[in-house]
Amino acid sequence: MKRSRFSEEQIIGILKEHQAGLGAKELCRKHGVSDATFYKWRSKYGGMEVSDAKKLKSLEVENAKLKKLLAEQMMDVATLKEMLGKNF
């Protein structure tokens, strides 16, 4: 996945500028981002503070680790079932 060149703090700052009254087109031009990126940020980070964004990021990292652990466990179970199903 491509890493964003903007941090969560910068993204929230840009969204706060929009809430202050600047237009989306002007902000996109000023910061060098596309309209689609701006609206994606607004849907994900709209109404958040910086601390909320950091909590969200840590939860996303933890969720990814848990999904990986679950997938590994499911593979182990499938392997064990396959081994037990064979006739020796």
The tens digit of pLDDT for each residue in 46-76 reads 888 989 988 999 999 999 999 999 999 999 9
Only one residue has tokens 């996945």, namely 1
Average pLDDT over residues 73-84: 93
Whether the CB-CB separation of 44 and 36 falls below 8 Å is answered with no
pLDDT > 90? residue 42 = yes
Query: In the chain, where are the structural domains located?
Result: 8-85
- pLDDT score, position 47: 87
* Confidence (pLDDT) at 64: 97
Say if residue 2's pLDDT is above 70.
no
Domain at 8-85, CATH from 1.10.10, 1.25.40, 1.10.3470, 1.10.260: 1.10.10
Q: What is the pLDDT of residue 86?
A: 74
